[in-house]
Structures are given as C-alpha cells and as structure tokens.
C-alpha cells in the first residue's frame, strides 16, 4: 500500500446559501461561512452554482473568489457544475484552482450520477476542456463507483475523478456497505495507478467517513462535503464541525514526511503549507526584527504571499517593525503548526514590494480593513481606543461610495530567505528531524541538524 497522505477537505457552502435564500436579509452570510471554514482547517471551498440559483448564486461565486484571493492557491476554490455556456463564462471569470464537472440536467435535484463518457458527452466535454484550458485549473470529472472509461478521461485531458459516494452513504445506514466500499476502493486504486487525482463526495459524514477512509486513504486526495457537514454544524457549530470532518479524513496526523525534501526550501515550504490541514491560521507567523544596535522585537503578522522570491506580509510603513527594518533590513520568521507538529524558521533580508503589488493586495482587503489602514498610526501612542473609532467614522464619510486608495504609509515587505529550517516532531515527541537549507550562490545547501 502506498504511503498515507493528507486528504484535503473542501467545504461545500451550497446548503448555507440555501438557508440564506429563505430570506432577503443575507443571513447567514455565505462569505462569513467561507471565512470560518477556511480558518477551521478546510483546505478549500466548493461552490455549485445551479442554473436556478437555488443554492449559491453566481454573484456568491465572484464574491468568494475575491475574498479568497489572498489565500489562494494555498486554499483552493473548487467550482462544481454542469458545464453549460453560463457556467463556463463564470469559471472563466473567477479562474478557480479546480473545476469539478457534473453531468446534471438543469432540473437535477442533486448530483447523483456520474459521467459515462458516452460519444455525445465526449463531444460536449472536448469543447468544454478547450475553454477550460485557456486558464490554469485542475479539471475533475464526477464519476460513479465502478467507472472504467479512464482512457477517454485521459483523452479529454482530465486531471482527476470525484467518485460519487451517495450510494455508499445510503447502504451504510442499512449496514450493507461492504461491497460498495470495495467498488469505490478498486475504482480509486485504478485511477491513482493511472495518475489521476481521486476525490470523493456526496453524503459523507462523521460516521461513514472512517470505514471508507480506512480502505481508500492511500488513493484519495480530497473530499468535498456540504450537506451532512452543514446539518452537523446545526448541532456542533460550524467551526467545530469543519475541524471534526478534517480530522475524520486524517485520523493519524501528524503527517509523516513523504519522499525526500525538495531541493528548494521555497517549494518545500509550499508543500508543508498545503499539509497544515486543520490548522486554524497556518499563515500566522512570528516576525522578529532588530534595531541597528541589535535590540530585538517580535510580533505576529500574516503571510499573504509566498513564491520563489520569498515571503510577503503587509503592514504600516511607519510602525515599529518598519522603523527597525529601515535601520536593519535583516529579519526572522517562525511558523508553528501544532496540529501537524511542525515548525519552519526563516531568516533573510527584507525589502519593500512594489507599490503596484501593495495596491493589488490592498484592493482585496475588506473595506473596514482598508479604512483602518488609513485610520491607525500603527505603533504610535493613542489617546484612547475610542479616538480610532472617531477617525474611522470620518473616513467612512470621506470615502463613502468611493474606492479606497492605498495609503502612502502602507504596503508589503518581502523577506528573501538566506536560511530555512524545517522542524518535524519525532514519534512520541522524541528524535525530532531538523532540515536546514542555507543559500549558496544560486543553489541551496541542505543538512540535518541535531534536535
Ligand atoms: C494573528 C495575528 C495576525 C496579525 N497580522 C498582522 C499583519 O499581517 N500585519 C500587521 O501589520 N500586523 C499584524 N498583526 C498585529 C501585529 O502583531 C502587531 O501588533 C502590529 O503589526 C504592530 O507591530 P509593531 O509595533 O512591532 O510594528 C497581527 C496580529 C495577530 C495576533
């Protein structure tokens, strides 16, 4: 059996939207539930806009895509749906990390039948794939357990399959699910052998996930769950429920390291970041700075972007950290992810990102956060907290109905790493592994450190 890997949970918000649609008050607010799900450890959000908009609406899709922008692609947006021209128009606009194609008729009550890849479906899907390939997205085909037309799926250029688990869930309630688990497992195994991503979804819940995961965890990389999770959330609370589902999918965290470490620590970081699983704020990092006399100070900031250039965060350019950085551009970062028993330490030089990059990020922030960036003279003495409310009130008036521009004193910094250390707790809390990367010209030296 291949090594176990982390199974991503993509929370489907359709049923939260269904409840919202029962009134004209925007309660519950689907955007807030996306925030809660992501904070509680969901690695993505699934939205399935149906033509009649009885669950999420097309406008929800664009709003959630925008809200998730700073977190993507670490946190993924998955848009499900029957690929008609309206749906394709929508996904082409928001460019989700993943598209899950279902063969539902517009009138379908729910998605309970996968693609058979008949000749007419193939003709349709070939055209669809051509359009989806104009932007980068993972394409998943919804299929039934027992699906075998993998060659056709390959011809289409699909990246993976989502195996329908509704029948398994039905049989589970009758205690007659053993054969269905076997069927799902052999389909999942075959798909993996052929290099397809394997997802599962439909009516999965805290009771029926464990026996299915026990057999399929080596093959499955993602579960998309909505209805049962939302029903459980009525009892347990949304955040608590998302955590419970993420844990049910990954009962054995911490995750063992799979394969070797990447040669580049920035790629290794991406990999570990994607495996933070149920961590509530994996992008919260300690930033340590020092004055020119080497007097240190530290605080938490959010990582907003990470690529091969380094680690980016945003702040006030007149704050204490910024003053220290202008005197001494060396800094250190620490990430701590207790649920997977990992720590990452980074040191390096810091420089400001371009105004354009700061403005692009600033425009994705909620309006109130944009206003507070204008209102707060970060790190300076304040008469009292109420005076900030007054400033906010005046700014709300000033910018009423207008786009809020990037404040001149606000923007991003990028830390270009010189050293990165990846720390993984050992079994029973002993013999931790420490991998240190040190920059040597254009490449990286790698060495183990004693714990
Ligand atoms: C979880 C968390 C995330 C934070 N993220 C940021 C951030 O991204 N940018 C920021 O300027 N401050 C952030 N803060 C506030 C900082 O910790 C700090 O109070 C502020 O930046 C002022 O620090 P300074 O006086 O050392 O400059 C965050 C605080 C917490 C607890």
Q: Is residue 164 included in any domain, yes or no?
A: yes
Residues 174 and 68 in one domain: yes
Q: Which residues are catalytic?
A: 430
- CA–centroid distance, 314 to ligand 1, in Å, is 9
Residue-level pLDDT, tens digit, the chain, 451 residues: 344 468 999 999 999 999 999 999 999 999 999 999 998 889 999 999 999 999 999 999 999 999 999 888 889 999 999 999 999 999 999 999 999 999 987 667 777 889 999 999 999 999 999 999 999 999 999 999 999 999 999 999 999 999 999 999 999 999 999 999 999 999 999 999 999 999 999 999 999 999 999 999 999 999 999 999 999 999 989 988 998 999 899 887 644 444 578 999 999 999 899 888 778 899 999 999 999 999 999 999 999 999 999 999 999 999 999 999 999 999 999 999 988 889 999 999 999 999 999 999 999 999 999 999 999 999 999 999 998 999 999 999 999 999 999 999 999 999 999 999 999 887 555 678 899 999 999 999 999 999 9
Residues 207 and 297 in one domain: no
> Which of 204, 219, 249 is a domain's end point?
249
Q: Whose CA is nearest to atom 3 of ligand 1?
A: 301
Q: Is residue 29 included in any domain, yes or no?
A: yes
Domain total in the chain:
2
| Ligand 1 atom at minimal distance to the Cα of residue 298 | 26
Residues 300 and 419 in one domain: yes
Quick check: 390 and 330 in contact, CB under 8 A? no
Q: Whose CA is nearest to atom 14 of ligand 1?
A: 301
| Ligand 1 atom at minimal distance to the Cα of residue 300 | 17
Q: Which domain holds residue 101?
A: 8-249
Q: Is residue 320 included in any domain, yes or no?
A: yes
Percent of the chain surpassing pLDDT 70: 96
Residues 138 and 212 in one domain: yes
Question: How far apart are alpha carbons 362 and 356 in whole angstroms?
Answer: 10
Residues 67 and 139 in one domain: yes
> Which of 222, 249, 276 is a domain's end point?
249
Residues 223 and 307 in one domain: no
Q: Is residue 384 included in any domain, yes or no?
A: no
Residues 174 and 318 in one domain: no
Q: Is residue 75 included in any domain, yes or no?
A: yes
pLDDT at residue 253, as a whole number: 62
Q: Whose CA is nearest to atom 31 of ligand 1?
A: 300
Q: Is residue 195 included in any domain, yes or no?
A: yes
- Assigned token pair, 314: 């945003």
Q: Ligand 1 pocket test: which of 291, 295, 298, 302 has the largest number of ligand atoms within 8 Å of its C-beta? A: 302
CATH number at residue 83: 3.20.20.70
Residues 316 and 412 in one domain: yes
Q: What is the pLDDT of residues 296-338, one digit of tens each?
A: 999 999 999 999 999 999 999 999 999 999 999 999 999 999 8
What Rg value do the Cα atoms of the chain yield, rounded? 24
pTM confidence score:
0.57
Question: How far apart are alpha carbons 41 and 44 in whole angstroms?
Answer: 9
Task: Give the residues surrounding ligand 1 with Cβ less than 6 Å away.
Answer: 281, 284, 297, 299-302, 313-316, 319-321, 378-379
CATH number at residue 430: 2.30.110.10
Detail the DSSP E strand segments found in 260-380. 284-290, 296-302, 305-307, 310-316, 330-337, 342-352
Q: Which ranges in 258-319 belong to alpha helices (H)? A: 265-274
DSSP state of 12: E
Residues 236 and 295 in one domain: no
> Which of 219, 249, 279 is a domain's end point?
249
- CA–centroid distance, 312 to ligand 1, in Å, is 13
């Amino acid at each position: 059996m291949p090594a176990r890997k982390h199974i991503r949970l993509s929370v489907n918000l359709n049923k939260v939207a269904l409840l919202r649609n029962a009134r004209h008050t925007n309660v519950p607010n689907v955007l807030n539930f996306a925030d809660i799900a992501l904070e509680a450890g969901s690695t993505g959000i699934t939205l399935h806009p149906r033509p009649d908009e009885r669950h999420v609406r097309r406008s929800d899709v664009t709003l959630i895509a925008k809200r998730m922008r700073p977190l993507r692609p670490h946190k993924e947006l998955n848009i499900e749906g029957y690929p008609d021209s309206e749906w394709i128009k929508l996904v082409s606009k928001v460019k989700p990390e993943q598209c899950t194609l279902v063969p539902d008729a517009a009138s379908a009550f729910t998605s309970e039948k996968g693609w058979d890849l008949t000749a007419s479906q193939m003709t349709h899907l070939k055209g669809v794939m051509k359009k989806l390939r104009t932007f980068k997205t993972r394409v998943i085909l919804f299929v039934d357990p027992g699906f075998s037309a993998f060659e056709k799926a390959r011809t289409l250029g699909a990246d993976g399959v989502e195996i329908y688990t509704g029948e398994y869930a039905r049989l589970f309630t009758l205690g007659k699910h053993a054969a269905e688990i076997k069927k799902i497992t052999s389909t999942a195994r075959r798909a993996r052998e052929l290099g397809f991503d394997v997802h599962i979804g439909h009516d999965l819940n805290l009771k029926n996930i464990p026996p299915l995961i026990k057999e399929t965890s080596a093959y499955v990389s993602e579960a998309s769950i909505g209805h049962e999770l939302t029903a459980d959330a009525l009892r347990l609370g949304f955040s608590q429920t998302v955590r419970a589902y993420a844990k049910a999918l990954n009962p054995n965290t911490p995750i063992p390291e799979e394969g070797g470490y990447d040669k580049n620590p920035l790629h290794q970081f991406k990999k570990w970041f994607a495996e933070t699983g149920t961590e509530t704020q994996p992008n919260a990092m300690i930033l340590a700075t020092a004055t020119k006399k080497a007097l240190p100070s530290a605080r938490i900031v959010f990582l907003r972007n990470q690529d091969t250039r380094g680690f980016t965060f945003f702040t006030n350019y007149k704050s204490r950290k910024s003053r220290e950085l202008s005197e001494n551009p060396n800094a250190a970062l620490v990430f701590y992810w207790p649920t997977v028993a990992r720590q990452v330490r980074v040191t390096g030089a810091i420089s400001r990102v371009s105004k354009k990059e700061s403005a692009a990020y600033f425009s994705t922030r909620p309006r109130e956060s944009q206003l507070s960036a204008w209102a707060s003279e970060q790190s300076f003495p304040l008469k009292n907290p109420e005076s900030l409310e007054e400033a906010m009130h005046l700014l709300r008036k000033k910018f009423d109905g207008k786009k809020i521009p990037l404040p001149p004193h606000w923007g991003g910094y990028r830390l270009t790493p010189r050293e990165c250390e990846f720390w993984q707790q050992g079994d029973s809390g002993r013999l931790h592994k420490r991998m240190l990367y040190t920059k040597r010209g254009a490449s990286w030296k790698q060495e183990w450190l004693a714990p």
